[in-house]
Amino acid sequence: MSKGRPHLESITILRGLAAVGIMIFHVRIFLWTGWKNIWSNPDQFSIFDRAVAFLSLPAPMLGECVLLFFVISGFCIHYPMAGNQKTLDLKIYATRRIMRIYPPYFAAVCISLLAVHYFEWTSPSNEPWVMNLLLVQNYLPKINSQISSNCSLWSIATEVEFYIAYPLLLIFWRKYGPSQSVALFGTISIIATWLYFLGVKGMVFCAFTFYILWWSGALLAELYATKQLPKPSKIIVIMGIALLATGTIAQLQGAHLVMVKRFLFGGFYILLVWWLLTHKLFKPSEYSLISKCLLHLGKISFSLYLIHYPLLQVCGLEWEKQFGSKPDNFLIPLAFCLITILIANVFYLIVEKPCHLLARSLFTANQKGCQ
């Protein structure tokens, strides 16, 4: 975030919790027998396994945490420019975005291709790795052409669409104001959703669909930076609870309501970020061990998001090979999540952190060159 702007612990912590939520959503696929199986055949499982299964109840909704990433992304990208009329230095902006995002992403694609070697039904040569490296896998060679060992990478390509559009969106924002901008981006998202229901399935991953979420995050950054962000009223809090409840109901209805639940959960996440920005929920990191751990989790959240899927998938296949079936106890997939966090920390130290430092040094060098 911008020099001179305070570091927002709540945003960092929320980003880490979102990454963990998505990981828990995915780990059930590879390393758990599943709620439906346990409760359809209760006699085949112990009382303890059935009791622990209740821990998984929120898990089906946690996949929508990717929408929280979009809201946070909009906030963080706009925060340095919020409340001022500075000209966006496109060279610095592009350099920092590329260095922070692409090298770790490239490493994650390589790890994903290594994971494919473990699969019996495909090989790296059959995977659309070129499209993934070019960040066009959401559209080419067909819709949702992800590497089969890492289906999470779709959102990175969508994020890059936001980054490319931001300079133009910022010009529109400054010319017409926040209200008109949010109205425009909301209209774009509605049209994209309408096109999806008309059969244009590419809209399910297109940035147009998520513009209202991303730019709502930017609007929160603008209001926060200019000290115009009020505390949410009780009505807003009740609205957030209602959005979460109805989103959960939509989730239970099945995949045909995917767009509906996205807007419901997305609205909830916008209000959640708003609420956290106006409440001092987390203690300063220097006084709390828990907040230190949560902040570190937020720091490595991008690394965790990039590599958790192939790691858990390979672990799940190896578990089935060794034991003949997926684990019955939900504590086992949670243990594998902890292992994945440790591996993500290593990935952060050897891949992502050096990229951050290089981006920062290039930014400093550019600043000195302009003096």
CA atoms within 13 A of residue 287's CA, in its CB half-sphere: 4
- Nearest CA to 240 out of 213, 277, 271, 261 is that of 271
CB atoms within 10 A of CB 232: 18
Question: What pLDDT, on the 0 to 100 scale, is given for residue 366?
Answer: 47
User: Rounded to an integer, what distance in angstroms lies between the CA atom of residue 297 and that of residue 219?
Assistant: 26
**Coil, strand, or helix at residue 314?**
helix
Distances (CA, A) of 137 to 126, 200, 258, 302, 305: 14, 16, 20, 19, 17
Question: What pLDDT, on the 0 to 100 scale, is given for residue 242?
Answer: 97
Domain boundaries, the chain: 9-369
Yes or no: say if 330 and 32 are a contact pair by the CB < 8 Å rule.
yes
Tokens, residue 345: 């920390």
Yes or no: say if 192 and 209 are a contact pair by the CB < 8 Å rule.
yes
CB atoms within 10 A of CB 337: 19
User: Rounded to an integer, what distance in angstroms lies between the CA atom of residue 158 and that of residue 206?
Assistant: 6
Name the region of 163 (left: φ>0; alpha: ψ -120 to 50; beta: rest): alpha
Which burial class, exposed, middle or buried, applies to 83 when counting CB atoms under 10 A from its CB (0-12, 13-18, 19+)?
Answer: middle
Percent with pLDDT over 90 in the chain: 76
Average pLDDT over the chain, rounded to whole? 91
Question: What pLDDT, on the 0 to 100 scale, is given for residue 282?
Answer: 62
The pTM is what? 0.93
77-81, 172-176, 208-212, 357-361: lowest mean pLDDT where?
357-361
Token match 């965790």: residue? 304
- Once rounded to an integer, what is the mean pLDDT over residues 131-153? 94
pLDDT digits 0-9 by tens, 40-63: 999 999 999 999 999 999 999 999
Yes or no: say if 170 and 330 are a contact pair by the CB < 8 Å rule.
no
119-123, 140-144, 217-221, 363-367: lowest mean pLDDT where?
363-367
Question: Per-residue confidence at 2, pLDDT binned at 50, 70, 90?
Answer: very low
User: Rounded to an integer, what distance in angstroms lies between the CA atom of residue 315 and that of residue 265?
Assistant: 30
Residue 136 DSSP code: -
Question: What pLDDT, on the 0 to 100 scale, is given for residue 370?
Answer: 35
CA dihedral angle for residue 340, residue 294, residue 19, residue 343, rounded to 10 degrees: -20
User: Rounded to an integer, what distance in angstroms lies between the CA atom of residue 62 and that of residue 69?
Assistant: 12
Question: What pLDDT, on the 0 to 100 scale, is given for residue 365?
Answer: 47
Tokens, residue 115: 């994971």
pLDDT digits 0-9 by tens, 305-354: 999 999 999 999 999 999 999 999 999 999 999 999 999 999 999 999 99
- Once rounded to an integer, what is the mean pLDDT over residues 278-306? 83
Name the region of 231 (left: φ>0; alpha: ψ -120 to 50; beta: rest): beta
Integer Rg of the chain from CA: 21
Question: Per-residue confidence at 85, pLDDT binned at 50, 70, 90?
Answer: confident
**Coil, strand, or helix at residue 214?**
helix
